[in-house]
Amino acid sequence: MNHANWRLEGEWLKNCTCAYGCPCDFNARPTRGDCQGFLGMRITRGHFESTSLDGLSFFAVVSFPGALHEGNGQLQPIIEERASPAQRAALFKIMSGQNSAEGTLFHICSLIVTKMHEPIFAPMTFSFNEAARTARLVIPGVLETEVEPIKNPVTGADHRIQVLMPEGFEHRVGEVASSNIRSQGAIKFETRGGHSTLAHVVQTPQGVVA
């Protein structure tokens, strides 16, 4: 099947209510039985056909009643307000999964999400430092999160862990950290000390290539 020509390269952030390590990455069940969180990225270089997506950020807040592969999920897309109509349409075409090969990230999301909430277009403040395992995302009235290194419970020193996924559909190598989340959109939840993954990714219609 032929897919549209698109590519997204940039800073990937996934935060959720599970314990450090994200059980989904290990094909395990969510820590609490259900899972709420968000994922997305700031695109450093990207395009959909002839539409440039350089510099734009987009995220998706999600909620699942059980393990992700069991489906019945909810999703609310959030796209940076300054995106033009053409750029918004391009991101929706990518996120729909219709322009991705079977078994890739956006295709899988299209299969496990049964309720799609109205998208939000809002200003975003996003800082990201993968090496330091720190990040901050502020979307006023919609979503706020802070990421910091996991701390050694005895010494208080920063604790570093990487997850290597040679066949991962989100990323290849991710830095694991701790996150606080306050979600105030259609999917509301709040958590402290949950999981975070920071990574540099390159997504294409064929999946992750870096």
Q: Would you say residue 210 has pLDDT above 90?
A: no
> What type of residue is 140?
P
The DSSP bridge partners found for residue 146 are 136, 180
> What span, in angstroms and rounded, lies between the C-alpha atoms of 210 and 208?
6
Predicted model pTM: 0.96
DSSP state of 25: G
> What span, in angstroms and rounded, lies between the C-alpha atoms of 71 and 146?
28
pLDDT confidence of residue 3: 82
- Asked whether the beta carbons of 133 and 198 are under 8 A apart, the reply is yes
- Asked whether the beta carbons of 176 and 150 are under 8 A apart, the reply is yes
Written in H, E and C, the secondary structure of 126-170 is EEEECCCCEEEEEECCCEEEEEECEECCCCCCEECEEEECCCCCC
Q: Would you say residue 143 has pLDDT above 70?
A: yes
pLDDT confidence of residue 1: 60
What is the average per-residue pLDDT within 58-67? 97
pLDDT confidence of residue 64: 97
> What span, in angstroms and rounded, lies between the C-alpha atoms of 189 and 160?
27
- Asked whether the beta carbons of 202 and 9 are under 8 A apart, the reply is yes
> What span, in angstroms and rounded, lies between the C-alpha atoms of 178 and 23?
14
Residue-wise pLDDT for 3-34, tens only, equals 899 999 999 999 999 999 999 999 999 999 99
pLDDT band (50, 70, 90) for residue 180? very high
